[in-house]
Amino acid sequence: MIKKPPFRKLRGYAFDPSLSLNLDTAVINNITYKVRWEDKDDPDPERRLKSGPRGEYLEVVDYDPTVDKFYAPVDLDHPYILAQDGLNPSGSNPQFHQQMVYAVAMTTIKNFEAGLGRPVLWSSRQVMMDEQVNGNPPEKKATSVYVPTLRIYPHAMREANAYYSPQKKALLFGYFSAQPADVTLQMPDALTFTCLSHDIIAHETTHAILDGLHQSYTESSNPDVLAFHEAFADIVALFQHFTFSDVLKNQIAATRGDLAAQNLLGKLAQEFGIAIGSYGSLRDAIGTFDKKTKTWKPNEPNGDEYRKFMEPHQRGAILVSAIFEAFLSIYKNRISDLLRIASNGSGILPQGQLSPDLVNRMAAEAGKTAQHVLNMCIRALDYCPPVDITFGDYLRGIITADTDLVEDDSRDYRLAFIDAFRKRGIYPSGIKHLSIESLTYSIPDTSGIQGQINVIVNFLREYRSEILNEKRRSEIFKINKKYIAGQYDDNAPKIYGLHRRLLQKFDNSIQFEKLTGLLFSEGARGLGISTSHAYGNDEGNWPSVSIQSLHLASRVGPDGNQVNQIIVTMIQRAYMTISRDGNREPVIVPGKANGNVRVLGGCTLIFDLDSLQLRYAISKPLLDLEKLNEGVRKLNKGRCSALFQHHQDMRIGQSRFEAYFSMGPANSKNEPFCFLHTH
Amino acid sequence: MAKSTNTRVDKVKVRMYKGGTGDCFLLQFMKGTEPSFNMMIDCGSIKGGAPQFEAIAKNIKAETGGIIDLLIVTHEHADHINGFEKAKELFDEFTFKKVWFAWTEDDEDPVANDYRQNRSELGLALDAAVAKLNMLLTDNYYEKLFMDDVRGQLMVDGKRKFINSITSLNDLNMLKAAKGKPLPTMVEKFKEFNIIKEDTIVELLKPGDVRSKLAGATGIRFYVLAPPRDFNLLDETEGGDNNFDKRETKSRKDFAFLSAVDGAITGSEASKFPFEAEHELKDTQHEIRQLYNKVGDEWRKIDHDWLYSAGSIAMRYERSINNTSLALAIQFEDSERVLLFPADAEFGSWKSWHMDLHWPVKIDGKTVKKDISYFLANTVFYKVGHHLSHNGTATTMGLDLMTSDELTAMATLDFAKINDGWLNTMPNDLLGAELIRKCNGKLFVNGNCDKILSNMKTDRVTIKKTHERIMRKLHEGFEDEIFLECVIDGKNPS
């Protein structure tokens, strides 16, 4: 019996076709991606690989609506294709395009799962469905529906654009005629395919993965939210460059180990950038090309960026450069011994080319560092509030997640992050000073509600035992849904869901309200908070709370210590209208009305299954916490007026295209990424 | 024409009509109390109906006797010319002695013809895309598509807004090409409107041109600033000079998109297929087709999403046409005072004024070459470019150089009659506040003054209370009129 191969090897571009036309980079641009082997005869039909390629996670559908034609789908199991590690990279063969998007998207998913420690699920579809409860007439109810595969359209439009559509659960890639500013860089009018760019594919795939983890991050409730989406997608694409070992070695040799100098690894979407008329890549984490002097120069943060730049890409670039700088400082630290060895202790390398051994060692360090940094960035997502994220929240998430997993930060990774954020003026709100201790979320005081928490934790342990060994993604979705919403069928054991338990255990608990910042007592209507009549609360004045996600995080740190946590995210919605009085002070009127604004509160609860503790409650409060301390429940005025202010600023700051065509910040449902990416 | 004892024009009465967002100006050059020269600039409005234009035409006739010495047609957008069509019967009775257009309307100029040919292709593609998108609205396509989605109405609203916006952008384009033929010129269009009759003198003007000694307008010189004769400048609609350097690329044709739309109309295959024909999926029953067309999964389809690309093309097209605006500086020879009428010129046009252009100016009887900063420094009346949008007035290359204490400005912006998409971009708060400051409150708008003021007053600008009072007061005087008016004196204050 021959064993199944662990990987499928597929050839593709490390960057994009433009680097294959350049003598210096052609050698390193053609690489072989190793993606998880999906078997055409897998006993589980959901996991089979079919022509397209269509597999467990992805379905590539190469329909080109601009010509109303399908292109023949590639069969990766064709013996000739198998025998030569996939089709040869080629711009003129759409089947190679399909192979390329599949290979890069699968690689991105794999890297994500490694950091996350669980399978990637796409964001579910929220639909109104008829639901019949206890023999009552069917009622339309919002239900989340499992989406097994992300669809990829490699040739979806003729425009210099590519985007993730949260509505279609699909990636749409465009192609267009190049309009280079400099004809020596690219042939004018040549067709440029965004689906052949590793960076663009990885970027868009990451948007989709992030949407699967935090659905509310597509709602621009502060200047950081969409910027975060963009930045995160860039970060994943960037650090993926470091997994291509030949590219990495080549660039280490070219820069003599100084990755802060201009290099390919820090650049994103080169062909695209040139094709739309720039002089270089679309984005660059470490430097910029000066149009006047026509030279590249490194970016120096001046601490002002975070206050100055509001456009999501520009703002996102601040976060990207902060993370990249953290990476660079850790890398420099890790190779300092190598440099000393190679330079007889001076730390200054001799002139000329580096020895290949040194290059290999440095590349290994760079690769390892990149993996660590990327994992830190991914893990932090579980430690972020479910709504209204800011860069500061993200920094706290990074530090907290890392502190939980890695007790001894011997190489000062965390300091490197804090330092890079500080240099760009990114400070979390609500902390007194910048230190690892104050950035780490504190363990909440649960003394008055420990009994209820124990009940919840015990229930979550049941969840853990059921989910722990489940690898099928559709089953994971089902189990999650069952434990959130409960199971009340007649022919299955009854399960009271987490939703019901939380609402009932903490009903009227002001202490839980203080922890979460959400309303758990009667009086929702007066606050403009959506009401619910679930579980017999039929007077219509009880608040609605929705549980967005339930995850198990089982991770092992470098010292062998294990983290066993359950992560629950909750969201509550309020509607209000806001205006300014004579002194331009905001006046908030709760409730739905013409021109109302929807404000979201949310909380991420992290339970530790070993110590039976509620370990963290990371909250974006809907309620005013100070008033709550006095026993009064009021909408959080600060967050409401910040949202209002942001909506106003967006009207001023948006591009002319957005101003003209979009519905404005209050309508997040209309292809937010399509608008963001339109050039 | 009324006779006058004065030999030279000593003031000009500028009347801005309240036709909605769109330009219609009557300039009466006065010798003493009598008008000696009647000049009209444009007549059009977004969403303006025939009755409104008829009232305007009647008013102009009452003022001028229907004799217009000079008509300026700045550019082809509906909000500048549709009045001539909508009140055609009334304008038929007018006599337009002379009409000025920009050089872009010259059908014997190869540069102009080339430019028009390009635009014809773009225009056709846009028309096709817009028509298709509107069919989707008529068919309630989006309602059906998003029927089941939670908050599906938001998605429907978003698409509707998008399609309405692109439609109203496209509606600005009044000149339509027949398939295979270039767009008609505006000269042809105005013959069709019967504005240009047998005796009408038509002149096509280039940047650098000067006109003076027009009968009845003694002492007045007309300087042509734009449109520039460089394609790249026509395409340039955002400048690094602006306060907001928005990241948008230049207007260029995307051949890939155009050929696809063209293919969709003509059904011609070869021009549009991006790959060799062998790559097409021939199997009509292939699983992948079934997957795409699966009943119940329509929400995943992408049949029409590619047409949204027409949005950015329509926007660039509009802006490039704005840049074909005939921009004029009108000067009192004696006092050197200037009235500036840039129509809807965008950044590329403003920039071109500064590029090696000089105009012969008469100062104390001598002819001196002067560049644009001279004219801007002497500007005492400014017709605000492009309805107070941020791109219609350059900052360092424009407003910053207008330094006269005597500045008065008029802007055509009316929220009651406006393109939906423009609501978010007009007025630009920074520009509005700066203008009010520079004019000491003497800014006229042809829409509701209160509404426009409150829209300008964002957190980042300050408007002085005294200026605001002056501005409101100016408008109160014309509440019952269909126009606003100011008189610009030809003499400098002593």
Instruction: Please spell the DSSP secondary structure of B328-373, one letter per residue.
Output: EEEEETTT--EEEE-TT--HHHHHHHTSS--EEEEETTEEEEE-HH
What's the Rg (C-alpha) of chain A?
A: 26
- A356-379 vs A312-342: helix axis angle to the nearest 10? 140
B382 close to B407: Cβ distance less than 8 angstroms: yes
Mean predicted lDDT score pLDDT of chain B: 88
Q: Which pair of tokens denotes residue A197?
A: 């760019």
Contact criterion met (CB < 8 Å) for B272 and A67: yes
What pLDDT sits at residue A93?
96
Instruction: Pick the closest to residue A677 from A289, A197, A325 (CA basis).
Output: A197
Report the percentage of chain B scoring pLDDT > 90: 64
What is the structure's pLDDT at A346? 84
Asked if B294 has any chain A CB less than 8 Å from its own CB, the reply is no
Cβ within 8 Å, pair A167-B159: no
B230 shares its domain with B350? yes
pLDDT band at residue B247 under the 50/70/90 scheme:
very low
Question: Does B381 lie in the same domain as B307?
Answer: no
B288:A155 CB<8 A: no
B-interface mutation test, from A669, A675, A679, most B Cβ less than 10 A away: A669
Domain count of the fold of chain B:
2
CB contact under 8 A, B458 and A142: no
**Quick check: B455 contacting A, CB < 8 Å?**
no
Q: B442 or A660, which is more confident?
A: B442
pLDDT for A408 equals 85
Domain edges within chain A: 1-125+141-213, 220-441, 447-635, 645-679
Please name the residue of chain B whose CA is at the shortest distance from the CA of residue A313: B247
Give the domain-ending residue among B299, B317, B335.
B317
pLDDT of B419: 79
Tell me how close the Cα of A159 comes to any Cα of chain B, in angstroms: 6
pLDDT of B266 over the 60 cut: no
Residues 6+ apart with CB under 8 A from A210: A217, A229, A232, A233, A381
Q: In the prediction, which pLDDT does A561 show?
A: 81
How many C-beta atoms surround the C-beta of residue A346 within 10 A?
10
Q: Given this model, what pLDDT does residue A653 score?
A: 66
Give the pLDDT confidence score for residue B474 in this predicted structure.
94
Q: For residue range B68-77, what is the model confidence (pLDDT) as tens digits?
A: 999 999 999 9
Q: Nearest residue on chain A to B315, judged by CA atoms? A: A657
Task: Determine, for residues B157 and A667 on separate chains, whether the beta-carbon distance falls below 8 Å.
Answer: yes
Flag whether pLDDT at B344 surpasses 90: yes
Which residue is closest to B252 within chain A, CA to CA? Answer: A179
Q: What is the CATH number of the domain that holds B358?
A: 3.60.15.10
- Residue A353 Cα, gap to closest chain B Cα (Å): 40
User: Which string of DSSP letters, residue by residue, matches B232-268?
Assistant: HHHH----TTSS-----PPP---HHHHHHHHHHHH--
Residue B189 lies in a domain: yes
> Taking CB atoms and an 8 Å cutoff, what residues of chain A touch B272?
66-67
**SS (HEC) of B110-125:** HHHHHHHHHHHHHHHH
Contact across the interface for B275 and A648, Cβ inside 8 Å: no
- Does B245 score more than 70 pLDDT? no
Same domain (yes/no): B202, B148: no
Q: Which of residues 335-354 of B touch A (CB under 8 A)?
A: none
Question: Which candidate from A70, A126, A176 shows the least CB-CB separation from B150?
Answer: A126
The confidence score (pLDDT) of residue B40 equals 98
Residue A646 tokens, joined: 């942001």
CA-based diameter of chain B, in Å? 89
Q: How far apart are CA A392 and CA B37, in angstroms?
A: 66
Test the B interface: residue of A661, A662, A678 with most B CBs within 10 Å:
A661
Q: Are residues B97 and B219 in the same domain?
A: yes
Decide if B248 and A657 are in contact by the 8 Å CB cutoff.
yes
Contact yes or no for B256 and A95 at CB 8 A: no
In this structure, the answer to whether residues B284 and B369 fall within a common structural domain is no
Question: Whole-angstrom Cα distance, residue A473 to residue B178?
Answer: 56
Lowest-pLDDT range of A409-423, A542-556, B177-191, B233-247: B233-247
**Which range has the top average pLDDT, A499-503, B324-328, B364-368?**
B324-328
**Residue whose structure tokens are 């004579």:** A582
Q: Are residues B32 and B159 in the same domain?
A: no
CB contact under 8 Å between A167 and B299, yes or no, is yes
Identify whether residues B430 and B448 lie together within a single domain.
Answer: yes
Per-residue pLDDT for B365 more than 50? yes
Q: Is residue B245 part of a domain?
A: no
Total CB pairs under 8 A between chain A and B: 204
Is the CB of residue B279 less than 8 Å away from at least one CB of chain A? yes
- The mean pLDDT of B246-253, rounded to a whole number, is 40
B149 with A126: Cβ contact below 8 A: yes
- CB contact (8 A) between residue B260 and residue A62: no
In a domain, B444, yes or no: yes
CB-nearest to A158 from B248, B257, B421 is B257
How do the residues of chain B divide into helix, strand and coil, expressed in percent and rounded to 5?
A: 40, 20, 40
Select the more confidently predicted residue: B384 or A495: B384
Task: Specify the pLDDT at position B251.
Answer: 37
Domain co-membership, B396 together with B345: yes
**Nearest-by-CA chain B residue for A648:** B458
- Which of A666, A497, A664 is closest to A578 using CA atoms? A666
Residues in chain B closer than 8 A to A584 (CB atoms): 459
Print the domain residue range for B463: 11-106+185-236+323-489
Distant-in-sequence, close-in-space partners of A145: CB < 8 Å, separation ≥ 6: A124, A125, A126, A127, A129
Q: CA of B472 to nearest chain A CA: how many angstroms apart?
A: 19
Q: What is the rounded distance in angstroms from the CA atom of residue A629 to the CA atom of residue B287?
A: 61
Do residues B260 and B271 make contact, with C-beta atoms less than 8 angstroms apart? no
Q: Using one digit for the tens of pLDDT, what is the confidence trace for A199-245?
A: 999 999 999 999 999 999 988 899 999 999 999 999 999 999 999 99
Q: Are residues B154 and B43 in the same domain?
A: no
**CB-based contact B247 A674, cutoff 8 Å:** no
Shortest CA gap A172–chain B (Å): 9
Under an 8 A CB cutoff, do A277 and B249 touch? yes
Task: Answer yes or no: is pLDDT of B238 > 70.
Answer: no
Q: Which of A254-263, B347-356, B465-474 has the lowest mean pLDDT?
A: A254-263
* Mutation for testing the A interface, residue in B153, B246, B457 having most A CBs under 10 Å: B246
Residues of B in contact with A62 (CB under 8 A): 281, 288
Q: CB of B416 within 8 Å of any CB in chain A?
A: no
CA distance A523 to chain B (A): 25
- Tell me which chain B residues have a C-beta less than 8 angstroms from the C-beta of A69: 273, 280-281
| Cα of B107 to nearest chain A Cα, Å | 28
- State whether residue B255 sits within 8 Å of chain A by CB: yes
Question: Which residue does chain A place closest to B421, by CA atoms?
Answer: A660
B326 pLDDT more than 90:
yes
**CB-CB under 8 Å, B149 with A167:** yes
Last residue of a domain, one of B273, B300, B317: B317
- Classify strands A546-556 and A562-580 as parallel, antiparallel or unpaired: antiparallel
Which residue, of B285, B317, B349, is where some domain finishes?
Answer: B317
User: Do B227 and B341 fall into the same domain?
Assistant: yes
Which residues from B are below 8 Å from A175, CB to CB? 256, 274
Contact between A669 and B291 using a beta-carbon 8 Å cutoff: no
Q: Could you tell me if B227 and B106 are in contact, meaning their C-beta atoms sit under 8 angstroms apart? A: no
- Please answer yes or no on whether A170 and B300 come within 8 Å at the CB atom: yes
Per the CB < 8 A criterion, the answer to whether A286 and A298 are in contact is yes
Q: What one-letter code names the amino acid at A105?
A: A
Distance separating alpha carbons of residues A651 and B166, to the nearest angstrom? 19
B378 pLDDT band (50/70/90 cuts)? very high
Q: Residue A661 and residue B276: Cβ atoms within 8 Å? A: no
CA distance, residue B38 to nearest chain A CA (Å)? 37
Separation in Å, CA of B195 to nearest CA in chain A? 34
| Predicted model pTM | 0.90
Pick out chain A residues at pLDDT < 50.
679
pLDDT band at B241 (very low <50, low <70, confident <90, very high): very low
* Contact call for A169 and B300, based on CB within 8 A: yes
CATH architecture, domain defined by A220-441: Orthogonal Bundle (1.10)
pLDDT digits (tens, 9 = 90+) for B78-132: 999 999 999 999 999 999 999 999 999 999 999 898 888 878 878 888 888 899 9
Q: Detail the DSSP E strand segments found in B66-171.
A: 67-68, 70-72, 95-96, 98-102
B72 and B173 in a single domain? The answer is: no
| 219-248 in chain B: CB under 8 A from chain A | 238, 246-248
Residue B6 in any domain: the answer is no
Q: What is the least distance, in Å, from the CA of A62 to any CA of chain B?
A: 9
User: The domain A1-125+141-213 is classified under which CATH number: 2.60.120, 3.40.50, 3.10.170, 1.10.3470?
Assistant: 3.10.170
Alpha-carbon distance of A478 to A480, in angstroms, equals 5
Q: What is the pLDDT of residue B93?
A: 94
The reply to whether omega before A45 is within 30° of 0 (cis) is no
Instruction: Please name the member of A66, A172, A663 whose beta carbon is closest to the beta carbon of B158.
Output: A663
**Considering only CB atoms, which chain B residues are within 8 Å of A161?**
309
